[in-house]
Chain A
Amino acid sequence: MKETSNIKENIGKIKVLIVEDNVLNQKMASFLLKGLGFNNDVCVNGKVALDKIKTTNYDVVLMDVQMPEMDGYEATRQIRNELKLHMPIIATIGNTSEEEIKKCLANGMTDVISKPLKGDELYAMINKHLFPENVSENVNGSELD
């Protein structure tokens, strides 16, 4: 999917894993991603996410931070340190304080996005990290708001 650097041509091949314990947030993220054209899978905590990531190649992970069994920080540390994977992991957070953002980045997350999610922000965020050489696409993404 990274043979050409254009999100529009590749969008249907991009697989996103949503890691989120709140059913409303799961459905919202899935609906938005599907509407934008991305493929997505959903799982309920970090532990299940690790199992899925071991068997499926995901291009991007949307990671909630506070979840039962295994939180997003721990799951991210394991993805980076044990699975040695470097795909963008975007923390989905309700509290966008500087402290929270620092904590996410310190644990290996690539970036953060605030909840409730918005389609144009999600599109721009995925584009920014998968196709950094082509960030002007963000402008086109805004029409998908």
Chain B
Amino acid sequence: MEKNLNNDKKIIDLTYLIGLSKGDNGFVKKMITVFLEETPKEVDVLEESVNQTDYEVIKASAHKLKSTIPFIGLDKIIGKEVNEIESLARENSGIENIRASFKKIKESFELASAELEAFMLNN
């Protein structure tokens, strides 16, 4: 059953959530609902701060994303970029690299959200 739940996912990996849920599919869906509600706001804050080159907010918001992405296995896809953004912002530098990494982060979030929505419909 766990394998079925986790099939055909290109970006997301629900192994961690499903493992912790001990078969409580309602919990997995609840966590995904919270993820879909909360993370777009976090990505928006990061985007705004990247557009404004506000290193303080970039740093804080990348840090927050870092603890959110492992829930759906997204750390394997964009963990490196999120870490890079946080490190660069801590040094108040590298806005061009931050922009490039953010582009990948945003694209991955969009794909992940679509996959999560499909998962919610199918389970």
B:9-37 near A, CB below 8 Å:
16, 20, 22, 27, 30-31, 34-35, 37
Q: Give the docked Cα–Cα distance between A61 and B66 (Å).
A: 22
Interface centre among A24, A35, A116 (most CB of B within 10 A): A24
Separation of A22 and B67 alpha carbons in the complex (Å) = 8
A25 located at the interface, meaning its Cβ lies under 8 Å from any Cβ of chain B in the complex:
yes
Kindly identify which residue among A23, A25, A94, A118 contacts B20, using a CB–CB cutoff of 8 Å.
Answer: A118
B contact face: mostly helix, strand, loop, or mixed: helix
- Asked whether, in the complex, the Cβ of B63 is within 8 Å of the Cβ of A24, the reply is no
What is the bound-complex CA distance between A94 and B27, given in angstroms? 22
What range describes how many residues of A lie at the interface?
10 to 19
B71 within 8 A of A: yes
A116 lies within 8 A of B16 (CB)? yes
Asked if B20 and A24 make an inter-chain contact with CB atoms under 8 angstroms apart, the answer reads no
- Contact code string A14-31 (vs B, CB < 8 Å = 1, else 0): 000000001111011001
The answer to whether A25 touches B34 (Cβ under 8 A) is: no
Residues of B within 8 A of A25 (CB): 67-68
| Contact (Cβ within 8 A) B20 A32 | yes
Name which residue of chain A comes closest to B71, CB basis: A24
Which A residues touch B99, using CB under 8 A? none
Q: Contact check, B67 vs A31: say whether CB atoms are below 8 A apart.
A: no
Are A24 and B38 touching (Cβ within 8 A)?
yes
Contacts of B67 in A (CB 8 A): 22, 24-25, 94, 115-116
A31 adjacent to B34 (CB under 8 Å): no
Contact across chains for B22 and A24 when beta carbons are under 8 A apart? no
Which A residues from 56 to 83 make CB contacts under 8 A with B? 66
Smallest distance from the beta carbon of A37 to chain B beta carbons, Å? Answer: 14
- The answer, yes or no, to whether A119 is at the interface (CB within 8 Å) is yes
Query: Contacts A118-B20, A119-B20; is A28 near B64 (CB within 8 Å)?
Result: no
- Contact of A27 with B34 in the complex, beta carbons under 8 Å: yes
Are A22 and B27 in touch, CB under 8 angstroms? no
Contact partner of B31 among A24, A35, A66, CB < 8 A?
A24
CA separation between A33 and B31, bound complex, in Å? 15
- Per the bound structure, the CA–CA distance linking A66 and B20 in Å amounts to 24
Interface residues in chain A, defined as those with a beta carbon under 8 Å from any beta carbon in chain B:
22-25, 27-28, 31-32, 35, 66, 94, 115-116, 118-119
